[in-house]
Structure 1
Amino acid sequence: MNQRKYQLIATCAAGVEGLVGDELRQLGYDVQVENGRVRFEGTQKDIAKTNLWLRIADRVKIIIGEFQAYTFDELFEKTKSLPWEEYIPMNGAFPVAGKSIQSKLHSVPDVQRLVNKAIAERIKQIYHRRGMLPETGAKYPIEVALRKDHVLITLDTTGDGLFKRGYRTEKGGAPLKENLAAALVKLTTWTPDRPFVDPTCGSGTIAIEAAMIGLNIAPGFNRDFLCESWELMDPNVWEEVRAEAEELADYDQELDILAFDIDGRMIAIAKANAEAAGLGYAIEFKQMQVADFKTDKSFGIIVSNPPYGERLSDSEAVHKLYRQMGEVFAPLKNWSKYILTSDLEFEKYYGNKATKKRKLYNGPLRTDYFQYWGKRY
């Protein structure tokens, strides 16, 4: 197996970089946390392992090169000097995406075109080719990102974003991405021996992610990744990391996870999604409204992503739901409650000020995670 070390980054949404850094540390890596990404180093096996195990990141990328560039000539020559033949075979397809922030080279289409041309020139030179390259083989997506004239060129190993676990058979009207759902669970104090409740479960994503965390199931276990088709990746690596993940899963861990929703159609979708994830047995789903929730259990965790203005319902119905939550959850003194919404007036309707708020992004939408910590046990 090739033991070459690659410079890698795990990209992620703003606000969860620290969580991704923690995940990577727990997997055994030294990390450098930056805005929207975490840097680390690893071999082929580490590329496979992090794609399989990262719950909150968006993608795992190889850093091909970093340099300053103030002119198009400089960008072309420095890009061409990188060892592209070590990554892309002669027939590889290499689409180039780009972005430019506060840089002299601000025209993104020109930057993309030039980088694509520089890569093609390098590959043609190495393989002694003339004319167009075939680009009929596997895909090698390149991104060139300029910030203040600093150029970072990366190669995406993931393909479809890491949030695509492969279990969502159907979505509701305003779905929460799986990696954000995992982040919501990770930001709580929940442990698998405590009750977990999602009272507005929609298509079941938060409960399913909690069950995967509780059973230590690798989130990418049931999907494929783009770099599995690459010549530079040893297929035995993937067999190895999947076998290791299977060994680490704790299917005997008993979980107490309840997910309910007022909409029976959503409960049917949530059940189907849980079955697709192989977790139908681990989660109890019910059609129920928040007002009817009662429990004698102690020291549980409630995580909710209720409808809010920009999402589904009219504001009057949403505010009524927030009031109900405040009334129903108030007696649960030793439970901790975590609610994600973009409604900055949430606390007013809920009737209680949060212990802590955390800014998170649901796609492009700014939201706040209102946290109410229960008594410790």
Structure 2
Amino acid sequence: MSKKRLAVGLMSGTSADGVTAALVEISPDRVRVRRFETYPYSARLKNLVLEAPSLRAPEISLLNFALGEAFAFAALQISRGARPLVIGSHGQTVWHGPNAVPPNTLQLAEPAVIAERTGLTTVADFRPRDMAAGGQGAPLTPAFDLFLYGRGPLRAVVNIGGIANVSLVGHGRLWSAFDTGPGNGLMDEAVRRVTKNRSEMDRGGKLAARGKPDEKLLKRLLHHPYFRTSPPKSLDRATFGAALLDRYFPRLTRARLPGALATLAELTARSLRLSVLENAPDAPLAEVVVSGGGALNAHLMRRLRVLFAPVPVTTTAAHGLPVMAKEAACFAWLAARVLDGKPNHAPAATGARGVRILGKIVLA
């Protein structure tokens, strides 16, 4: 990249809330988010996304094109008055099976629809190439984390969406990166169950702050086999999803919800801390930098600050990157790398056999 360029990044995570779009200015040594917005899914579209693993082929095909329209709308809205060079779309993950035989993954939101509606070259479907090269297909943000923070001291760069992931980066290299376990997903599902979908989340962690974690249950949850698996590793929403709530929280009620949320928030916080401690290099950790919806959960952030003390826990906003825009900005950057013919993933994170250029290109 020899000069500043504009790109659009599109992302929808495991929570399936909608499409986050970011208009990003990319230069050789930095990125700047000019603006970003999340465009919520309709209730019908969200339900289809959450039900996707059980849908039939005709319904999956319809969902792919419907999501393409939703992603295209988001791209058009966020790029009004600007002339971006490219769109990078992660799509909507509806299945991720890195340990299946053969490994496989599926992200929907038809890029041909995005390119046709916007008139912009669109790069999408990043995960399969990494998986074809022997990798997990995820996480894909560590290459971006290395670009942003690699020249500084050792940091744990954390994103807490439906699931949580960490990149241990600094001193010129990426040391390790992987999905750590549940993020907001279990907490959101618990709220939806108790409120019969009238509420989507525990805003600010206010309910969790009123509850008390169940230490015996936490001990059992922290013995989940995923936490004993060594990196590289990645998660699908189902691993820490509805079935886990059914097993460990079978009688959720309004009265029990604060305690359940306190326990689930503690699970996210403690599993993150354990992941960092067990995989960090033998060097002082300078900072934990958090992005994603979890950064807006005041209770969860308080718990992370207690658990990581005296290491400071901040957010990407302190580094000039809005917490809800980071992943979308990442896919804008990944797409720009594709146009430059440059590798855009981190094999050290995914386990791929070597560096590759990820993504399928639909020309304008």
> Is the structural similarity TM-score above 0.5?
no
> Larger helix proportion, structure 1 or 2?
2
TM-score (normalizing by structure 2): 0.29
Using the size of structure 1 for normalisation, the TM-score is 0.28
